[in-house]
Amino acid sequence: MNGSNSIIKKVYLRLKNVLSSLLNKTCELCLEDNFDEGFLCADCENSLPQSQSRCQMCAIPLLSPGYCGQCLAHKPAFDLSHCNFNYGAPIDSWLHQLKDQRKTQWAQKLAQLMLLNPPPFLTEVDVFTFVPSTRWSLIKRGFNPGELITRELGRKLNKPVIAKLAKRSHGSEQKNLNRQQRINNVHKHFHSAGKQLNHQHIMLIDDVMTTGSTAHTMATILKVSGASKVSVWCFARTPKH
């Protein structure tokens, strides 16, 4: 085969792959043909529950930019937060598929959506980390959903990911607890892993921030370990304190 034939064959194969992937691709939400990048069409992406303004510290939705009353009254141990979406349909069902139905491919998809609107302070961040799972939930589920999302973002953004900066003891599942129980529970069951952080800005990545008590406790531990700043990046935020 001469050189020009080989180039034509390569171009033909490449075009065939692109065309077939375009022709077979549908938006996973509206099921219409999707010619946009990603698993959602642009219209569905734009219709996801979002907020224009959030508290700069805890990312709770606000009517105008600034700080919420709760952060002004009791400053959390973390310094900044960024959140992509508000918790609600279809976000809840995607998280259910990842966490309860153990469809790990959703970690990549959620990370893909997070990358559409990354935190404005990302360049200041030295290291990514995630909230450790309890040993029981690791055994039950087989993976830590927050870790999968964090590692995917670390790969895409070329940031180091450090695991096990805190230890979590058994009995600290947050799912069925009310706000005050969550705060008490988190405080009791998270401990320092004894690692030394050299004045780094650590970003804690999580799927959902609810009361912020887990992020607050993790940030307290990270700062005692030497972090100069702790920020939070979460996929979804529950709308009210």
Catalog residues that contact Zn ion under the rule CB under 5 A: 27, 29-30, 41, 44, 55, 57-58, 68, 71
Shortest Å distance, C-beta 83 to Zn ion: 11
Minimal distance, residue 161 CB to Zn ion, in Å: 26
Closer to Zn ion by Cβ: residue 148 or 186:
186
- Cα atoms in the Cβ-side hemisphere of radius 13 Å centred on 212: 26
- Please confirm whether the linkage preceding 61 is cis (ω < 30° from 0): no
Is the CB of 68 or the CB of 177 nearer to Zn ion?
A: 68
Helix or strand (DSSP H, E) at 20 = helix 3-23
Overall size of the chain counted in residues: 241
State the minimum distance, in angstroms, from the CB of residue 103 to Zn ion. Answer: 19
Question: For residues 44 and 165, which CB has a smaller minimum distance to Zn ion in the complex?
Answer: 44
Between residues 55 and 131, which has the closer beta carbon with respect to Zn ion? 55
* CA atoms of 206 and 93, how far apart (whole Å): 17
Least distance CB 156 / Zn ion (angstroms): 23
CA–CA distance, 56 with 66 (Å, rounded to integer): 6
CA distances from 81 to 16, 23, 78 (A): 43, 39, 8
Nearer to Zn ion, 38 or 118 (CB): 38
Q: What are phi and psi of 36, to 5 degrees?
A: -90, 165
Beta 127-130 vs 190-192: how paired, if at all? unpaired
Q: How far is the CB of 26 from Zn ion (least distance, A)?
A: 8
